Structure formats: C-alpha cells, structure tokens
C-alpha cells in the first residue's frame, strides 16, 4: 500500500473527497517529518514512536570491494513499534 | 516536547476547518487503516517519509538479560521501518 492507496482508503471510510483525504494524509506525515527535523520525538500511542538517534563516525568497509571507507557522523530516525501494533502484527 | 496524536488532530482541525470530533475520527481512521494493512502482512510505503515493512523472524536462541538463563525465542512477525532518503536529508 502506498500513500495514494492510503488516501483512497481514508476517503472511502470517512466520506471525504479524494483531495481532502490526500491533504490530510500529507499533513499527518509532514507533521512527523517537521518534528523529527527539529530533533524532537514523535509518539503515536498504539502505533509507533520515533526519535532521532545520533550515530558516531566509524570506519566501514565496502562489502563488494573490501575498501575501507570513512563513515561520517549521521542522524537517523529510530522507529519503535507501538504495543498494540506489535501484538496485532505478531501471530 | 514530543509530537502526539492530539497535536496532529489539532493541526488537521485548524487546516481543514473541521470540528475536533471530525478531525479525531479521521486521524483515528487513518491510523487504523495503516495498522490493519500491516496486520494483513502488507507493507505500507509513504514516499518522502519511509516504508513500514513486515518481517518474519525465525526462532532463535536468546538469553534472559536479568538472570542469564538461556531461552528460545519463538518465531514472530514484526514491523520494521526503512527511512526514506528525503527524511534522512531533512534530519541531517
């Protein structure tokens, strides 16, 4: 399922027009992006939470050629699955 | 301060000129659609944000970190997240 499918499913479920549903889906994810870009946490109970994790620089290796490469410090969003989602997905 | 569901509901309410109840219902529905899609075993790809993937994990040996006892972890199905390049660039 992609973002367009999600907007379609939302418009069908809530009687919104496809355009309205698309705007709302965009707002939902944009809010999360903006929050993470400021380095803040996102916490949606029952779904998931994200925080920005700082990674230190390290010397890595290109697995194909074996060459060593310097990996610069970076930040990545760290995803934690919410309790309800975790239980529903597991068999 | 962490962004919560209530914050998103408020933003949607203000942007779309909806009532609090309407925007709450819409956001709850949206989250429920994502959750039931993942529950059905289908991945959810959000361009510009990332991909929520369903992964099957095999049974493996683990250890109770508190007691040090060996134990077997049952096979399970989990959700993982792959960050999009766009989101990574925004964060850095």
> What average pLDDT does chain A have?
95
Say if CB B16 and CB A23 are below 8 A apart.
yes
Rg over alpha carbons for chain B, rounded to the nearest Å, is 19
Task: Label the pairing between strands B44-46 and B50-57.
Answer: antiparallel
Which domain range does residue B88 map to? 43-92
**Is the Cβ of A12 closer than 8 Å to some Cβ of chain B?**
no
Helices A3-14 and B20-39: crossing angle, nearest 10°? 130
CB of A7 less than 8 A from some CB of B = no
Determine contact: A87 vs chain B, CB below 8 A: no
Number of separate domains in chain A: 1
Q: Which domain CATH number covers A7?
A: 4.10.520.10
| Chain A, window 26-45: residues with a beta carbon less than 8 angstroms from a chain B beta carbon | 27-29, 31-33, 35-37, 39-45
Residues of chain B with Cβ-Cβ distance to A13 below 8 Å are: 29, 33
Same structural domain, B34 and B50: no
Contact state of A37 with B34 under an 8 Å Cβ cutoff: no
Burial class (CB in 10 A: 0-12, 13-18, 19+), A23: middle
| pTM for the full predicted model | 0.89
Binding-face residues of B in 55-74 toward A, CB within 8 A: none
Looking at residue A24, its pLDDT comes to 96
**CA distance from start to end of chain A:** 21
Do B30 and B69 belong together in one domain?
no
**Domain of A65, in residue numbers:** 3-89
Q: Is A71 on the interface with B (CB under 8 A)?
A: no
The CATH number that applies at residue B70 is: 4.10.520.10
Q: Flag whether pLDDT at B1 surpasses 90.
A: no
Report ipTM for this prediction: 0.89
d(CA B92, CA B80): 21
Per-residue pLDDT tens digits for B38-54:
999 999 999 999 999 99
Do B56 and B90 share a structural domain?
A: yes
Q: How confident is the model at residue A91 (pLDDT cuts 50, 70, 90)?
A: confident
The residues near B53 (Cβ < 8 Å, ≥ 6 apart) are: B43, B79, B80, B81, B82
Nearest CA in chain A to B82: A79
The 3-state secondary structure of chain B, one letter per residue = CCEEHHHHHHHHHHHHCCCHHHHHHHHHHHHHHHHHHHHCCCCEEECCCEEEEEEEECCEEEECCCCCCEEEECCEEEEEEEECHHHHHHHC
């Amino acid at each position: 399922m992609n973002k367009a499918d999600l907007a379609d499913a939302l418009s069908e479920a809530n009687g919104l027009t496809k355009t309205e549903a698309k705007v709302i889906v965009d707002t939902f994810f944009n809010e999360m992006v903006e929050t993470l870009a400021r380095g803040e946490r996102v916490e949606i109970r029952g779904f998931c939470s994200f925080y920005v994790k700082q990674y230190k620089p390290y010397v890595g290796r290109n697995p194909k050629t074996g060459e060593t490469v310097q990996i610069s410090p970076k930040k990545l969003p760290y995803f934690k699955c919410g309790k309800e989602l975790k239980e529903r997905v597991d068999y | 301060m962490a962004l919560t569901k209530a914050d998103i509901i408020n933003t949607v309410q203000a942007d779309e000129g909806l009532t609090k109840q309407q925007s709450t219902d819409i956001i709850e529905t949206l989250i429920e659609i994502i959750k039931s899609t993942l529950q059905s075993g289908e991945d959810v790809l959000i361009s510009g944000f990332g991909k929520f993937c369903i992964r099957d994990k095999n049974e493996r040996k683990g250890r109770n970190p508190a007691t040090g006892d060996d134990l077997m972890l049952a096979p399970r199905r989990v959700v993982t997240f792959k960050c999009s390049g766009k989101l990574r660039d925004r964060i850095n």
